[in-house]
Amino acid sequence: MTKTPDSAVRSYIDQHEAEFLEDLSAWLRIPSVSADPGRAGEVRRSAEWLVAKLRETGFPVAEVWESDGLPAVFAEWPSGDASAPTVLVYGHHDVQPAAKEDGWATEPFEPTRIGRQLFARGAADDKGQVFFHTLGVRAHLAATGRTAPAVNLKLLIEGEEESGSPNFGALIRREAARLAADVVIISDTGMWAEDTPTVCTGMRGLADCEIDFYGPANDIHSGSFGGAVPNPADVAASLVAALHDADRRVAIPGFYDGIVELTEQERELFAELPFDEQQWLKVAKSGGTLGEAGYSTLERVWARPTAEVNGIWGGYTGPGQKTIVPAEAHVKLSFRLVAGQEVENVRKLVRDWVATRIPEGIRYDIAFPGATRPCLTPLDHPALQSTVRAMGRAFGQKILFTREGGSGPAADLQDVLGAPVLFLGISVPSDGWHSVNEKVELDLLRKGVETSAYLWGDLAENWQ
Amino acid sequence: MTKTPDSAVRSYIDQHEAEFLEDLSAWLRIPSVSADPGRAGEVRRSAEWLVAKLRETGFPVAEVWESDGLPAVFAEWPSGDASAPTVLVYGHHDVQPAAKEDGWATEPFEPTRIGRQLFARGAADDKGQVFFHTLGVRAHLAATGRTAPAVNLKLLIEGEEESGSPNFGALIRREAARLAADVVIISDTGMWAEDTPTVCTGMRGLADCEIDFYGPANDIHSGSFGGAVPNPADVAASLVAALHDADRRVAIPGFYDGIVELTEQERELFAELPFDEQQWLKVAKSGGTLGEAGYSTLERVWARPTAEVNGIWGGYTGPGQKTIVPAEAHVKLSFRLVAGQEVENVRKLVRDWVATRIPEGIRYDIAFPGATRPCLTPLDHPALQSTVRAMGRAFGQKILFTREGGSGPAADLQDVLGAPVLFLGISVPSDGWHSVNEKVELDLLRKGVETSAYLWGDLAENWQ
Ligand SMILES: [Zn+2]
Ligand SMILES: [Zn+2]
Q: Give residue-wise pLDDT tens across range B89-120.
A: 999 999 999 999 999 999 999 999 999 999 99
- Among B217, B233, B316, beta carbon nearest to A285: B217
| CA distance, residue B25 to nearest chain A CA (Å) | 31
Q: Is residue A253 located within the same domain as residue A394?
A: no
Q: Please give the residue of chain A at the shortest CA–CA distance from B296.
A: A228
Chain-chain contact of A231 with B336 (C-beta, under 8 angstroms): no
Q: Is residue A192 located within the same domain as residue A239?
A: no
In a domain, A295, yes or no: no
Q: What is the pLDDT of residues B126-144, one digit of tens each?
A: 999 999 999 999 999 999 9
In a domain, A286, yes or no: no
Using an 8 Å Cβ cutoff, are A413 and A202 in contact?
A: no
Spatial neighbors of B185 by CB under 8 A, at least 6 apart, are B87, B88, B89, B90, B383, B387, B421, B422, B423, B424
Q: Map residue B224 onto helix, strand or coil.
A: helix
Q: What is the CATH number of the domain that holds B323?
A: 3.30.70.360
**Sequence letter at residue B378:** P
Q: What burial class does residue A81 get, using C-beta atoms within 10 Å of its C-beta: 0-12 exposed, 13-18 middle, 19+ buried?
A: middle
Q: How many CB atoms lie within 10 A of CB B236?
A: 31
**Whole-number Å distance between alpha carbons of A226 and B442:** 33
| CA distance, residue A281 to nearest chain B CA (Å) | 9
Q: Mean pLDDT, to the nearest integer, of A319-344? A: 95
Instruction: Kindly report the length of chain B.
Output: 464
Q: Is residue A310 located within the same domain as residue A163?
A: no
Q: Please tell me the distance between residue B120's alpha carbon and the centre of ligand 1 in angstroms.
A: 71
Q: What is the CATH number of the domain that holds B111?
A: 3.40.630.10
Confidence at residue B407, expressed as pLDDT on a 0 to 100 scale: 83
Chain-chain contact of B407 with A228 (C-beta, under 8 angstroms): no
**Whole-number Å distance between alpha carbons of A345 and A341:** 7
Q: How far is CA A274 from the centre of its chain?
A: 22
**Whole-number Å distance between alpha carbons of B179 and B169:** 13
Residue A2 pLDDT level (bands cut at 50, 70, 90): very low
Q: Is residue A170 located within the same domain as residue A31?
A: yes
- Least confident range from A305-314, B408-417, B429-438: namely B408-417
Q: Is residue A367 located within the same domain as residue A397?
A: no
| CA distance, residue B2 to nearest chain A CA (Å) | 41
**Whole-number Å distance between alpha carbons of A138 and A56:** 11
Q: What is the pLDDT of residues A262-289, one digit of tens each?
A: 999 999 999 999 999 999 999 999 999 9
Q: How many CB atoms lie within 10 A of CB A51?
A: 21
**Sequence letter at residue A376:** L
Q: Mean pLDDT, to the nearest integer, of A28-57? A: 97
- Among B216, B301, B315, beta carbon nearest to A311: B315
Q: Is residue B332 located within the same domain as residue B433?
A: no
Q: Please give the residue of chain B at the shortest CA–CA distance from A295.
A: B228
Instruction: Kindly report the length of chain A.
Output: 464
In a domain, B294, yes or no: no
Q: In chain A, what residues touch B309 (CB-CB under 8 Å)? A: 231, 233-234, 237, 314-315
How many C-alpha atoms does B13 have within 13 Å on its Cβ side?
27
Beta bridge partners of residue B367, listed in sequence order? B210
**Whole-number Å distance between alpha carbons of A13 and A19:** 10
Q: In chain B, what residues touch A227 (CB-CB under 8 Å)? A: 291-292, 300-301, 304-306, 308, 336, 405
Q: Map residue B402 onto helix, strand or coil.
A: strand
Residue A1 pLDDT level (bands cut at 50, 70, 90): very low
**Whole-number Å distance between alpha carbons of B336 and B372:** 9
Confidence at residue B164, expressed as pLDDT on a 0 to 100 scale: 85
Q: Please tell me the distance between residue B186's alpha carbon and the centre of ligand 2 in angstroms.
A: 10
Indicate the residue among A326, A351, A371 that finishes a domain: A371
Q: Is residue B336 located within the same domain as residue B413?
A: no
Q: Does residue A239 register a pLDDT over 80?
A: yes
Range of the domain at A339: 205-259+305-371
Spatial neighbors of B99 by CB under 8 A, at least 6 apart, are B108
0.80 cut: is pTM over it? yes
Q: Please tell me the distance between residue B125's alpha carbon and the centre of ligand 2 in angstroms.
A: 5
Output the CA–CA distances (angstroms, integers) from residue B412 to A224, A321, B162, B170, B171, in the order listed: 20, 19, 16, 10, 11
Question: ipTM of the predicted structure?
Answer: 0.90
Look over chain A and give the mean of its residue pLDDT values, rounded to a whole number: 95
Q: Is residue A136 located within the same domain as residue A194?
A: yes
Sign of CA dihedral B18, B20, B24, B26: positive
- Among B217, B301, B315, beta carbon nearest to A312: B315
Q: What is the pLDDT of residues A101-158, one digit of tens each?
A: 999 999 999 999 999 999 999 999 999 999 999 999 999 999 999 999 999 999 999 9
Q: How many CB atoms lie within 10 A of CB B2?
A: 7
Q: What burial class does residue B93 get, using C-beta atoms within 10 Å of its C-beta: 0-12 exposed, 13-18 middle, 19+ buried?
A: buried
In a domain, A274, yes or no: no
Picking from A173, A131, A313, A162, the residue whose alpha carbon sits closest to that of residue A233 is A313
- Among A230, A234, A292, beta carbon nearest to B240: A234
**Whole-number Å distance between alpha carbons of A53 and B161:** 81
In a domain, A409, yes or no: yes
**Residues A165-191 as b or e (16 or more Cβ within 10 Å = b):** bebbeebbeebeeebebbbbbbbbbbb
Picking from A66, A60, A22, the residue whose alpha carbon sits closest to that of residue A48 is A66
**Whole-number Å distance between alpha carbons of A117 and A125:** 14
Spatial neighbors of B8 by CB under 8 A, at least 6 apart, are B142, B143
Interhelix angle B442-462/B127-144, nearest 10 degrees? 50
Q: Mean pLDDT, to the nearest integer, of A155-163? A: 95
Q: Where are the alpha helices (DSSP H) in B70-221?
A: 127-144, 168-174, 176-179
Q: Mean pLDDT, to the nearest integer, of B298-320? A: 96
Output the CA–CA distances (angstroms, integers) from residue B93 to B28, B64, B81, B411, in the order listed: 9, 12, 30, 19
- What's the number of domains chain B is made of? 2
Chain-chain contact of A237 with B241 (C-beta, under 8 angstroms): yes
Beta bridge partners of residue A206, listed in sequence order? A336, A372
Spatial neighbors of A220 by CB under 8 A, at least 6 apart, are A229, A324, A325, A327, B284, B285, B286
Q: What burial class does residue B385 get, using C-beta atoms within 10 Å of its C-beta: 0-12 exposed, 13-18 middle, 19+ buried?
A: middle
Q: In chain B, what residues touch A332 (CB-CB under 8 Å)? A: 315-317, 321-322
Beta bridge partners of residue A213, listed in sequence order? A329, A364
Confidence at residue A188, expressed as pLDDT on a 0 to 100 scale: 94
Q: Is residue A139 located within the same domain as residue A72?
A: yes
**Whole-number Å distance between alpha carbons of A380 and A385:** 6
Q: Does residue B408 register a pLDDT over 90?
A: no
Q: In chain A, what residues touch B237 (CB-CB under 8 Å)? A: 236-241, 309, 312
Using an 8 Å Cβ cutoff, are B313 and A237 in contact?
A: no
Q: Please tell me the distance between residue A189's alpha carbon and the centre of ligand 1 in angstroms.
A: 7
Using an 8 Å Cβ cutoff, are B47 and B118 in contact?
A: no
Q: Is residue B81 located within the same domain as residue B111?
A: yes
B6 or B58, higher pLDDT = B58
Output the CA–CA distances (angstroms, integers) from residue B77 to A433, B84, B143, in the order listed: 83, 12, 17
Confidence at residue A157, expressed as pLDDT on a 0 to 100 scale: 98
How far separated are the first and last CA of chain A, in Å rounded?
14
Q: Map residue B362 onto helix, strand or coil.
A: coil
Using an 8 Å Cβ cutoff, are B221 and B324 in contact?
A: yes
Beta bridge partners of residue B244, listed in sequence order? B250
Q: Does residue A464 register a pLDDT over 90?
A: no
Picking from A189, A240, A253, the residue whose alpha carbon sits closest to that of residue A210 is A240
Query: If you compute the radius of gyration of chain A from its CA atoms, what whole number of angstroms results?
Result: 25
Q: What is the pLDDT of residues B179-208, one digit of tens each?
A: 999 999 999 999 999 999 999 999 999 999
In a domain, A214, yes or no: yes
How far separated are the first and last CA of chain B, in Å rounded?
14
Picking from A405, A202, A255, the residue whose alpha carbon sits closest to that of residue B222 is A405
Q: Is residue A345 located within the same domain as residue A432?
A: no
How many C-alpha atoms does A159 have within 13 Å on its Cβ side?
31
Indicate the residue among A351, A371, A391 that finishes a domain: A371
Using an 8 Å Cβ cutoff, are B183 and B116 in contact?
A: no
Q: What is the pLDDT of residues A171-216, one digit of tens each?
A: 999 999 999 999 999 999 999 999 999 999 999 999 999 999 999 9
Picking from B232, B188, B432, the residue whose alpha carbon sits closest to that of residue B329 is B232
Q: Which ligand is nearest to the CA of A130?
A: 1
In a domain, A271, yes or no: no
Secondary structure string (H, E, C) spanning chain A? CCCCCHHHHHHHHHHHHHHHHHHHHHHHCCCCECCCHHHHHHHHHHHHHHHHHHHHHCCCEEEEECCCCCCEEEEEECCCCCCCCEEEEEEECCECCCCHHHCCCCCCCCCEEECCEEECCCCCCCHHHHHHHHHHHHHHHHHHCCCCCCCEEEEEEECCHHHCCCCHHHHHHHCHHHHCCCEEEECCCECCECCECEEEEEECEEEEEEEEEECCCCCEEHHHHCCCCCCHHHHHHHHHHHCECCCCCECCCCCCCCCCCCCHHHHHHHHHCCCCHHHHHHHHCCCCCCCCCCCCHHHHHHHCCEEEEEEEEEECCCCCCCCEECCEEEEEEEEEECCCCCHHHHHHHHHHHHHCCCCCCCEEEEECCCEECCEECCCCCHHHHHHHHHHHHHHCCCCEEEEECCCCCHHHHHHHHCCCEEECCCECHHHCCCCCCCEEEHHHHHHHHHHHHHHHHHHHHHCC
Chain-chain contact of B312 with A241 (C-beta, under 8 angstroms): no
- Among A223, A227, A244, beta carbon nearest to B300: A227
In a domain, A270, yes or no: no
Q: Does residue A386 register a pLDDT over 90?
A: yes
Indicate the residue among A339, A371, A403 that finishes a domain: A371
Q: Please tell me the distance between residue B68's alpha carbon and the centre of ligand 2 in angstroms.
A: 20
**Whole-number Å distance between alpha carbons of A254 and A247:** 16
Q: Mean pLDDT, to the nearest integer, of A2-16? A: 85
Beta bridge partners of residue B427, listed in sequence order? B190
- Among B228, B229, B321, beta carbon nearest to A370: B321
Q: Mean pLDDT, to the nearest integer, of B60-86? A: 97
Q: In chain A, what residues touch B305 (CB-CB under 8 Å)? A: 227
Q: Is residue A42 located within the same domain as residue A139?
A: yes
**Whole-number Å distance between alpha carbons of A34 and A167:** 12
Q: Which ligand is nearest to the CA of A125?
A: 1
| CA distance, residue A91 to nearest chain B CA (Å) | 20
Residue A411 pLDDT level (bands cut at 50, 70, 90): confident
